[in-house]
Amino acid sequence: MSTIRRPAVAGMFYPADPRQLAHDVQQLLTAARPHAMTPKALIVPHAGYIYSGAIAATAYASLRPIAAHIRRVVLLGPTHRVAVRGLALPEADAFDTPLGRVVLDTAAAHTIAHLPQVTVSAQVHALEHSLEVQLPFLQSMLPDFTLLPLAVGMASAEEVAEVLNILWGGKETLIIISSDLSHYLPYATAQRMDSETVQSILNLRQPIAHDHACGGTPISGLIVAAQKHQLTPHLLDLCNSGDTAGSRDQVVGYAALAFTEKVERVN
């Protein structure tokens, strides 16, 4: 009997109505500025769609040229509600969203289950939004894929990179790191901090501190793996909630970055 992880933040972070959700995501993707590249990995924000949806769409729109070739998505995001040591796989065979069911890659999960930093926890995943909010974009962009979701808690960059290296695969595998940037700083302060954080990522310099990015640990792990696999990072977009749907007194930063397997020109 299949175990299904039900949506936890539908109706809060994004619309619960399937038609409204499909319309909103498609509208965001259509409006996204195109970039000429073929990403192996993406860094994408995970706030409510009114805040960071347009930035997320910029990242996902870059997949258009390769969407038909992607068969597996390895998705890492930070834990917000339940503390965990290492990286947690879910106790599920599929994740549901209002747009339908995403089947998990249980075979890939078995290839990392032996690692000491990998655990299995339904509790960690039950209410975690950092992974869930990415799924409607993936469902809208990719015709056929399986998912390997990992909620990242207390771990080293090297532990994350070890997992990524095992799951690396070829052109059929896309890696996504779900992370916002700074949290609740004044607008100008956030702009400065987020620019510094992005520059560190572009220079493949880690660790990325948690007060600079809530997904600092998975980003740092991606940086370690990117160095090994000779990926090149590109900034696609950068802003904060003061630019989108919030006040400028306390803002949250958002960036979209793509990592490619060779140096490519960004239009």
Backbone angles phi, psi at 56, to 5 degrees: -60, -40
Q: Is residue 9 part of a domain?
A: no
pTM above 0.85, yes or no: yes
Residue 4 lies in a domain: no
- Cα–Cα distance between 243 and 237 in angstroms, integer? 12
Contacting residues for 11 by C-beta, under 8 A, at least 6 apart: none
Domain count, the chain: 1
Residue 24: inside a domain: no
Determine the pLDDT at residue 45.
98
Contacts of 56 (CB under 8 A, 6+ apart): 28, 44, 45, 46, 49, 133, 134, 137, 254, 256
Q: What is the CATH number of the domain that holds 112?
A: 3.40.830.10
186 in a structural domain: yes
Whole-angstrom distance, CA of residue 165 vs CA of residue 162: 5
Tell me if 191 is assigned to some domain. Answer: yes
Does any domain span residue 21? no
Residue 114 belongs to some domain of the structure: yes
Cβ neighbourhood burial of 164 (10 Å; 0-12, 13-18, 19+)? buried
User: To the nearest 5 percent, what fractions of the chain are helix, strand and coil?
Assistant: 40, 25, 35
Residue span of the structural domain in which 247 resides: 31-260
Q: Tell me if residue 231 falls in helix, strand or coil.
A: coil
What six digits make up the tokens of 9? Answer: 């933040």
Position 161 scores a pLDDT of 98
Query: How many residues in the chain?
Result: 267
- Tell me the two tokens of residue 10: 């539908």
**Residue 34 · residue 64 · CB < 8 Å:** yes
Give all strands of the β-sheet with 100-103 in edge-to-edge order. Answer: 4-5, 94-97, 100-103
Among 3, 8, 2, 18, CA closest to 136? 18
Q: 43 lies in a domain? A: yes
Per-residue model confidence as pLDDT tens for the chain (267 residues): 689 999 999 999 999 999 999 999 999 999 998 888 999 999 999 999 999 999 999 999 999 999 999 999 999 999 999 999 999 999 999 999 999 999 999 999 999 999 999 999 999 999 999 999 999 999 999 999 999 999 999 999 999 999 999 999 999 999 999 999 999 999 999 999 999 999 999 999 999 999 999 999 999 999 999 999 999 999 999 999 999 998 999 999 999 999 999 754 454
Q: What is the pLDDT of residue 1?
A: 66
